[in-house]
Structures are given as C-alpha cells and as structure tokens.
Amino acid sequence: MTKKVVVIGGGIVGCITSFFLIEKGYDVSLVDQSAIGQEASWAGAGILSPLLPWHYQDSVNQLCFGSADFYRQLSNTLKKDTGIDPEWTESGMLIFSATNQNKAIDWCQKNHTEIQETEDRCLLLPRVAQIRNPRLLRALKIYLINNNVVMIENQRVSPITDSSNSIHHLQTEKGINLEADYYVVASGAWSSFVLNEIDAPKIKPIRGQLIQYPAIQEKLSHILYKDDFYLVQRQDGVVLAGSTSEDVGFDKGVTESARLSLQNKAEELMPMLKKYNIQNQWSGLRPGSQGNIPMIEKHPKYNNVYLNTGHYRYGLTMAPRAAKIITDLITSHG
Ligand SMILES: Cc1cc2nc3c(=O)[nH]c(=O)nc-3n(C[C@H](O)[C@H](O)[C@H](O)COP(=O)(O)OP(=O)(O)OC[C@H]3O[C@@H](n4cnc5c(N)ncnc54)[C@H](O)[C@@H]3O)c2cc1C
C-alpha cells in the first residue's frame, strides 16, 4: 500500500522535499499555516551559493554543492510543465574587496570551484547562479498539485506533544486531523513551535530585509558582492539589494533605517542607481541555526518524524540535498 507523508511547511524546503517524495511514490500532503511559498523562500534573493563559501564549515558547503545544476534542470521542467519560467541564470558573482584572497583561491582550488582574479583585484565566481524564487515557488506549487500532492493551506499544525515514540496523527489548530505514516517538519523559522521547543528553541527567526529598484536600463555584469551586501539583477532589469540580519523575533516589519542603509550601500557599489527610486521593500524570517548548520535528521524521540529545518541563510541553495537526505531516510525506514 502507498505510504503517506505529511510535510509541515510549504516553503522551498517543504516543496522540494515533496518533489523528491512523490518521485519515490509516496502519497504526500503539504500543509501550511498560510499560503504555500509566501515566507522566507519567497522573500530571499535567489542566489544559489553561499556568499563566501570559504567562510563556512564543510558541512554547510556540502549541502550546497550541485544546487545550481539541480535548479537548472528543475527550471526547464517547470517552464515546460507549468508555463512559468523561474529564470535560472548563471550570472556569476563578482566579489569586491575580498580580504584574504589567497585563502579564497586556495579553497576554490581544493573544492573544484572555478574562480578568477580580475584586473581590479576583485574575485569572480563565474558559476554562481540565481533563480527568481517567487516564480520558482509559484511554478513548484502548480507542478506539485498536478502531480497529486494535496495542498492544505491556512492550517496551522499544533505542536507535537504525543507521549509515545511514534505519531499516528497530528492536528491543526482548526481541528483537522493529519494522518500519515511519516511526518516531515519543514516549518522554517517556526519549526521550534511545531517541535514544542519554545523554552530552548534550536531554530530562531532572523529577519532579512531587501529593497528593490525598478527595471533599470543598465545591465549588471554579475551578482555584485561587497562586505556582506549584494546586488542581484533579474532578467527584466529589476535590481534587488540586500540584506539585513536582525534578531527581532517574529516581527516581519520593514524599517526606514534598513531602507537607508541598503540604499547607501547599493548606490556606493553602483552609483547609477542614484537616478532610480526604490520601488519596493520587504522582509522574510530566516530559520536561524548555529553555524548555519540545519537539522536534517530523524526526530530524536519519534521514529516516524523527520526534521528538515534551520537552513538559515541558504535554504534555497540547500533544499535539494536536504530533501534527498530526508527522502533517503524515509525510504530506508521501510
Ligand atoms: C532577505 C533574505 C534573503 C535570502 N537570500 C537567500 C539566497 O539568496 N539564497 C538562499 O539559498 N537562501 C536565501 N535566504 C534564506 C532562505 O530564504 C531560507 O533559508 C529558506 O527560505 C528557508 O526555507 P523554509 O522552507 O525552511 O522556510 P519558509 O520559506 O519560511 O517556509 C516555512 C513554511 O512553514 C510554514 N509553517 C510554519 N509553521 C507552521 C505550522 N505550525 N503549520 C503549518 N505551516 C507552518 C510557514 O507558513 C512557511 O510557509 C534568504 C532569506 C532572506 C529572508
């Protein structure tokens, strides 16, 4: 009989996990407390790489390797099957004033990552790609529905409190019963609520704000990066500038100070932006974790609950590897 999996959280992590699970023949329901794909995964910049990979532990980078290739193929599939183009683009990333360039070059050589030194002492990572994440999420949702994933939106799953060592059903706050053989917690910044870890949460929200310039006439040669700040241009010319990192709980507001700070950095890096007005500003709550190391594992207590959360700054990039790990764990469970 087909085994049933309930995935809690319809961000990129939950959607890609569902994508892998249906490929293996599972019967998948994806539950979200609001609409699918409207939280951090919608808000992010869509860069498919850690910003400076050599600053992270190997375990972080290992989860990111291969991501750009995965999304290139997925993008083609989604474009064909849904008519929505997630705009996968190999933009490359140009890094200004990189300190310790030798360390960066060394790391890239050891990790088979292409890197070039430019004449003006910048570093170029030519294989860094980007994807237009709001479109990706929109297309993925349609694809998953077309492939029989049941979408349950506007249903908040209550904390897991069962005293036995396996879960037979979970409930939403509106009283819907979610029966399944397996559960995957992919609830992003809210995961500690679902896991009932309110006193000592392992995952906590870290707000990130971005601003958007309208479609500009000039073309950026690459994603531009300087001192933890980046500019990303989409195919239609729109430019995103980000981002902040703020420990403000579940507050998703945007602030004037962030807007000014991002604007100053953007216009310093690319002075021609001064002639354009900022068109939009938004924020998202990253699922913050220690060292950016996510939890991709079986729950320590429940033998049919799996955790796929805490991808922090790189959830979009890590989602394919993370989803594969969880799918393999569930498959090997029997
Ligand atoms: C400004 C910004 C820029 C970023 N840029 C990048 C980037 O360039 N590249 C990159 O790789 N990453 C980037 N990130 C990080 C990335 O967006 C996150 O790591 C990723 O979106 C996390 O995905 P997720 O699916 O875990 O979380 P989310 O997208 O937040 O999804 C979690 C979902 O769970 C649902 N949920 C929560 N609790 C419950 C519950 N109790 N019941 C039902 N549903 C529930 C929520 O409604 C939500 O839809 C950025 C993030 C921000 C904020």
Per-residue pLDDT reduced to its tens digit, 60-107: 999 999 999 999 999 999 999 999 999 999 999 999 977 789 999 999
Please give the pLDDT value at position 99.
78
- Phi and psi torsions of 199, nearest 5°: -75, -40
Is the CB of residue 211 less than 8 Å from the CB of residue 240?
A: yes
Q: 92: closest CA among 267, 224, 218, 216?
A: 224
Alpha-helical regions (H) of 47-202: 58-64, 67-82, 101-110, 133-146, 191-194
Please give the pLDDT value at position 333.
85
Query: Of the CATH numbers 3.40.190.10, 3.50.50.60, 3.30.420.40, 2.20.25.190, which one belongs to the domain with range 1-89+130-203+291-334?
Result: 3.50.50.60
**Any atom of ligand 1 within 6 Å of the Cβ of 9:** yes
**309 alpha carbon to ligand 1 midpoint, in Å?**
9
- Phi and psi torsions of 283, nearest 5°: -140, 165
Please give the pLDDT value at position 121.
87
Q: Whose Cα sits closest to atom 22 in ligand 1? A: 315
Q: Verify cis geometry, omega within 30 degrees of 0, for the bond prior to 49.
A: no
| Helices and strands, number each (H, E), in the chain | 9, 16
**175 alpha carbon to ligand 1 midpoint, in Å?**
25
Please give the pLDDT value at position 236.
97
**Any atom of ligand 1 within 6 Å of the Cβ of 68:** no
**Given the CA of residue 313, which atom of ligand 1 is nearest to it?**
15
Q: 104: closest CA among 143, 59, 53?
A: 53
**116 alpha carbon to ligand 1 midpoint, in Å?**
32
Q: Whose Cα sits closest to atom 33 in ligand 1? A: 9
**Any atom of ligand 1 within 6 Å of the Cβ of 188:** yes
Q: pLDDT (tens digit, 9 = 90+) per residue, 285-304? A: 999 999 999 999 999 999 99
The domain segmentation of the chain, as residue ranges, is: 1-89+130-203+291-334
pLDDT level of residue 171 (50, 70, 90 thresholds): very high
**Given the CA of residue 207, which atom of ligand 1 is nearest to it?**
53
Residue 14 pLDDT exceeds 90: yes
Please give the pLDDT value at position 168.
87
Q: 243: closest CA among 281, 217, 210, 292?
A: 210
**Any atom of ligand 1 within 6 Å of the Cβ of 314:** yes
Residue with tokens 């030519």: 126
**Given the CA of residue 46, which atom of ligand 1 is nearest to it?**
8
**Given the CA of residue 172, which atom of ligand 1 is nearest to it?**
42
**Any atom of ligand 1 within 6 Å of the Cβ of 12:** yes
**Any atom of ligand 1 within 6 Å of the Cβ of 310:** no
Is the CB of residue 227 less than 8 Å from the CB of residue 52?
A: no
DSSP run (H or E) holding 15 = helix 12-23
**218 alpha carbon to ligand 1 midpoint, in Å?**
31
The pTM score is 0.98
**Any atom of ligand 1 within 6 Å of the Cβ of 195:** no
Question: Structure tokens of 312?
Answer: 């922090």
Q: pLDDT (tens digit, 9 = 90+) per residue, 243-262? A: 999 999 999 999 999 999 99
Percent of the chain having pLDDT more than 70? 99
**Any atom of ligand 1 within 6 Å of the Cβ of 288:** no
pLDDT level of residue 334 (50, 70, 90 thresholds): low
> Lowest mean pLDDT: which of 23-27, 149-153, 167-171, 274-278?
167-171
Integer-rounded Cα radius of gyration of the chain: 20
